[in-house]
Chains A and B, each alone.
Chain A
Amino acid sequence: MLAVGAWAAVITAAHVVLNVDYNVLLNDRLPIDKRKLYVAYIPVT
């Protein structure tokens, strides 16, 4: 049981570190007129 719990904690921690974009989360919580706009592009001229 302890091993399963430790494994779940490791996986959860890895997910929180690797898969969550905190810049986006923080940006989404700002007032609309303060939010940074994200502009998408591909590397073509």
Chain B
Amino acid sequence: MFQGFPEIKEALLSNRMQAGFMVAPMAIALRAQGVPIKIVYLGHRYGSAVVVSKDGPVRQFSDLRGKTVAIPSRFSDERLILFRAMEKHGMKAGDIRMVEMAPPDVAGALAAGAIDAFSMGEPFPSQAEIGGFGRVLFHAREYWPDYISCVLVVRQDVIDRRPEAVQVLVDGIARSGLWLDNPPKRKARREHAADFVGRYYFRQDPKLLRWALSNPLDRVEYQPLTPLRGDFELIVRLMRETGVLDRAIDFSEYVDPRFAEGAQHQTEWRYEPGDSRAE
């Protein structure tokens, strides 16, 4: 487990990690710089929000003019969503001061008044809400209906030498997504997932993850996770317009779609709370 996306980038470059979840623009920028990696799947859809102080002066987006907003990276969808909102509200690039901050630090920074807002993925918006000091100004989907953020990136040498292992990984994520988003069992399964992920993977209070995964239930979604050309071409266009990508790059250069295609007919994990293993 890492605390920020730049550290994941370094771990992938050094081969300390062979795969990783990172924000889509960072993966695209690395590929554009010649780093031998590919996006093979999405981690989730939606799940990012802009959060302001609950009783602060920011009541609507235009109130953010001149304010300081934390983002996870200049190569992040959380930054791009701010630009989309700024464009809609007739604001210019310099109207909001954006500062890069490790995701686990933003809620504390907002509570301490070090920043006026943050644009970040869950569960940090939930953390600010539960803590009673933050208020969601808007969820990303309000300005970006097909919003995506974290993607699964794999080193090219692993894709070339061990495609079957990459397929197992992608199949597992696909099955988990289907399991989590099974309509009749969605709420109970998300609450169960929050408990074991909080305890054994994220080391966070399960209450926080329960809030993030079920308040409301579509706050974060885990289907469809296939990387789609249109979604990524929009990200590339926004990256170029906002000065973090200096050349056009084709979808085929940074996405390897065969693993998502291979996972299309997967079914959800056979697992219910209390079972000793998933099959």
Residues of chain A touching chain B, judged by Cβ–Cβ distance below 8 Å, are 24, 32-33, 37-45
Give the total of B residues in contact with A, Cβ under 8 Å: 38
CB proximity of A34 to chain B, nearest CB, Å = 10
Q: Does the CB pair B162–A43 fall under 8 Å? A: no
CB proximity of B29 to chain A, nearest CB, Å = 17
Q: Does the CB pair B17–A45 fall under 8 Å? A: no
Residues of A near B16 (CB, < 8 A) are 24, 38
Q: Does the CB pair B20–A45 fall under 8 Å? A: no
Q: Does the CB pair B18–A42 fall under 8 Å? A: no
* B161 touches A (CB below 8 Å): yes
Question: A37-B165, A37-B169 in contact; A45/B122 too (CB < 8 A)?
Answer: yes
With A39-B169, A40-B21 given, name 10 new contacts (CB 8 A): A24-B16, A38-B16, A38-B18, A38-B19, A40-B2, A40-B12, A40-B20, A43-B204, A45-B44, A45-B47
Q: Does the CB pair B17–A32 fall under 8 Å? A: no
User: Which chain B residues in 1-28 approach chain A with CB under 8 Å?
Assistant: 1-5, 8, 11-12, 16-22
Q: Does the CB pair A39–B1 fall under 8 Å? A: no
Residues of B near A37 (CB, < 8 A) are 18-19, 158, 162, 165, 169
Residues of chain B touching chain A, judged by Cβ–Cβ distance below 8 Å, are 1-5, 8, 11-12, 16-22, 43-44, 47, 103-104, 120-124, 150, 158, 161-162, 165, 169, 201-204, 212-213, 220
Partner of A40, one of B8, B104, B120: B8
Residues of B near A33 (CB, < 8 A) are 161-162, 165
Docked CA distance A44–B203 (Å) = 11
Residues of B near A39 (CB, < 8 A) are 17-21, 169
Closest residue on chain B to residue A28 by CB atoms: B15
- Contacts between the two chains (Cβ within 8 Å), count: 71
Q: Does the CB pair B121–A44 fall under 8 Å? A: yes
Q: Does the CB pair A40–B103 fall under 8 Å? A: no
Q: Does the CB pair A45–B1 fall under 8 Å? A: no
CB proximity of A32 to chain B, nearest CB, Å = 6
Partner of A42, one of B21, B158, B161: B21
Which has the most chain B C-beta neighbours within 10 Å: A24, A37, A38, A45? Answer: A45
Docked CA distance A38–B240 (Å) = 32
CB proximity of A27 to chain B, nearest CB, Å = 10
Residues of B near A24 (CB, < 8 A) are 16
CB proximity of A21 to chain B, nearest CB, Å = 9
Closest residue on chain A to residue B11 by CB atoms: A40
Q: Does the CB pair A41–B20 fall under 8 Å? A: yes
Q: Does the CB pair A45–B162 fall under 8 Å? A: no
A–B pairs, 20, beta carbons within 8 Å: A33-B161, A37-B19, A37-B165, A38-B16, A38-B17, A39-B21, A40-B11, A40-B12, A41-B20, A41-B21, A42-B5, A43-B104, A43-B203, A44-B103, A44-B121, A44-B124, A44-B150, A45-B44, A45-B122, A45-B220
Docked CA distance A32–B163 (Å) = 12
